Amino acid sequence: MNKPHIVILGAGYGGMMTASKLQRTMHMNEAEITLVNKNDYHYQATWLHENAAGTLHPDRTKIKIKDIINSRKVNIVLDEVISIKPEEKIVKLANSELKYDVLVIGLGFESATFGIPGLEENALMINNINSARLVREHLEYNFANYHNELEKNNARLNIVIGGGGFTGIEFAGELINRIPELCAEYDIEKTQVRVIVVEGAPTILPGFDEELVEYAVNSLSARGVEFINGAMLKECNTDSIVYEKDGKLTEIPTMTTVWAAGVKANSIVEQSGFSTNRGKVEVRKDMRTPDYDDVFVIGDCALIMNEQTGRPYPPTAQIAIQESGTVAHNVRASVRGEELQSFEPNLLGTIASLGHDDAIAEVFGRKLFGWKATVMKKMSDNRYLLKLGGIGLLVKKGKFNIFY
């Protein structure tokens, strides 16, 4: 009798943790397990803003899949997912196809551009290692070229960040800390550089505690970040952006627009015919799709409603890591014919970095500011590394100095 085939799509937080848990808790003769990912590495998505600002090398953020996943227990397939055919239980890859008995979809997110003219063509994103590297190289290119042109072009030194949510604010904090280094390297006065956050809501970090938001605004403003709130981006060009505020259109000359104002689930999910809510699968309590008992969805592709607020839980790394425990248990249970569990989120808190030595946090009902929140951020990151790869990965990749 053939062993059931478990296929996990994506080596993000949810996919990697699920694969790691299954290889530890299932016997090799119980099932064949395959992990599919485009690249040979997993990465700390919560560190991408540092890669983009140029304050952390991408190699620190990357974690080789083979360092975590035992290839004798889990097949590692490096390929791109093209489509899923749930009726046929087939995953079509760029170079092959896989038949599955149980499928776990953890394909991550894409940027949502909301149809804003020129955004997809001209804006930079912070979606993965390569896009973050491109942001860093683009910034350095513009600084290097500022003195190499016959006429100084201030658009090269105006950096616009579209979106004042977590990604936008964490990038702004990291970037404003790096500006003095860039200015010293390229002989540019710091006062010539502008970092501008354009946010559609009345304030940055919508939904965050007001006192913590006020601290974040004051901290970033003191270092030179400008905020334009209640403003909607209307157009993104190669050398400018146009925003609307109070019915008035304003243009800012810029050759660097970093878009961080929206994400959506990987479009493959919706294109494959799964029932979706705004592109995500509104999973059952046990993390399965509404339509198929053999398909689980995790991370950015899954929508889980908070019954108390009537709103979806935010698709954070914390949620994805917690989901992996339930998904791994239920995948194993479905193979063994055992009872499935329901997923119950246990939000431990929320932390937003404002640069490598500053942060805000709301954890265990307490508000933390500055270095105390920074310590909590580093502890959270290190805790994940320990859970994923043990003490060896923690020693190799962990952050232990808050002033690194």
Residues with a catalytic annotation lie at: 170
Contact 11, 79 (CB under 8 A): no
**3-class SS letters over 282-339:** ECCCCCECCCCCCEEECHHHEECEECCCCEECCCCHHHHHHHHHHHHHHHHHHHHCCC
Question: CA 325, 330, 332, 336 torsion: positive or negative?
Answer: positive
Neighbours of 247 (CB within 10 A): 5
End-to-end CA distance of the chain: 55
Buried b (16+ CB within 10 A) or exposed e, 190-214: eeebbbbbbbbeebbbeebeeebbe
How far is residue 329's CA from residue 291's CA, in Å, rounded to a whole number? 20
Q: Tell me which residue has tokens 């605004």.
A: 217
Neighbours of 180 (CB within 10 A): 13
Question: CA 43, 45, 46, 52 torsion: positive or negative?
Answer: positive
Neighbours of 24 (CB within 10 A): 10
Longest dimension (CA), the chain: 74
Residues 6+ apart with CB under 8 A from 164: 197, 198, 199, 201, 203, 204, 205, 206, 227, 229
> Can you read off the two tokens belonging to residue 54?
């140029």
Q: Which of 44, 68, 107 is nearest to 317 (CA)?
A: 44
Residue 225, CA atoms < 13 Å, CB-side half-sphere: 28
User: Where do the H-state alpha helices sit in 71-222?
Assistant: 119-122, 129-145, 166-186, 210-222
